[in-house]
Amino acid sequence: TPLGNRVLGHVHVRNREHRAPRIAGSPGGLIWGRSGQPNPSGKMVRILATADWQMGMRGNLSRRGREHLAKARVAAIERIIEVAEDEGVDVILAAGDLFEFPHVSDDVTNSVARALHNTKIEIHAIPGNHDLYGPGTVWTSEQFRNLTRFKLHTVEEGEKVKRVEIKENVFLHSIPVTNKFDMEDQDEYLEEVSDGTNIVMAHAHDLCHLDFSDSEHERDCKLPIDSGKIIKKGYSLIVL
């Protein structure tokens, strides 16, 4: 299901076995690498990864065009939930830029909240460079506060990574965007790991896929990350 030229994929993590489509993007793809330590629980973890819904995008479209685009993208979100439930997914990982702006209309907020409301699957998400977290943003709206299965990962001042156990001995290390002008390599924020199955979720440009330092694409927003270095630190999966 394409969403704004991004790709939806899902992965299976089972002990030392990792199966996934190898999808590269900037951001919005999904990259997988060698396994880290096995999960002692011996249980399979099924993950659906998505990003870049860009809800509220206006572009150069007419009013009718924007309405059509909004309906199509809500339908795509509903399809994501449907696929996740049909496939018995344990968790949905949404790697940023779910909204085009930090502040969107009530209509946009309500339409996304309705699409996510009925799922029984936990959704772990991070803010991207388009939808930074802060007071008065869509993330602090009543609609999203009432979504009990939706978990937005943010960090305290001075922190860069949020670590959460999403299933027994399976740890998610989220790197939410806090500054769209951040030029530090985000892989440097991560420590080496050895215990359990460790997953990284970030909203970044993967330098293993393409060097964006001189690219005209999003000139003011580089957010570099090196998936190769992350895999060497013992992480099993990177969702971008």
pLDDT-based confidence at 36, cuts 50/70/90?
very low
pLDDT of residue 41: 53
pLDDT-based confidence at 214, cuts 50/70/90?
low
Structure tokens at 16: 């030392």
The DSSP 8-state label assigned to residue 23 in this structure reads B
pLDDT higher than 50, residue 32: no
Q: What is the mean pLDDT of residues 187-206?
A: 93
pLDDT of residue 29: 37
| Model confidence pLDDT, tens digit, residues 59-91 | 888 888 888 999 999 999 999 999 999 999 999
Number of neighbours of residue 127 by Cβ within 10 angstroms: 26
pLDDT-based confidence at 169, cuts 50/70/90?
very high
Rounded Cα–Cα distance for residues 202 and 176 (Å): 6
Q: What is the mean pLDDT of residues 19-28?
A: 35
The pTM is what?
Answer: 0.81
pLDDT higher than 90, residue 35: no
| Model confidence pLDDT, tens digit, residues 144-163 | 999 999 999 999 988 999 99
Question: Between the CA of residue 234 and those of 34, 37, 91, 120, 231, what are the distances in Å?
Answer: 9, 7, 21, 31, 5
Least confident of 22-26, 51-55, 166-170, 180-184: 22-26
| Backbone phi, psi, residue 123, to 5° | -115, 120
Number of neighbours of residue 217 by Cβ within 10 angstroms: 10
pLDDT of residue 14: 36
Q: What is the mean pLDDT of the chain?
A: 81
| Model confidence pLDDT, tens digit, residues 47-56 | 999 999 999 9
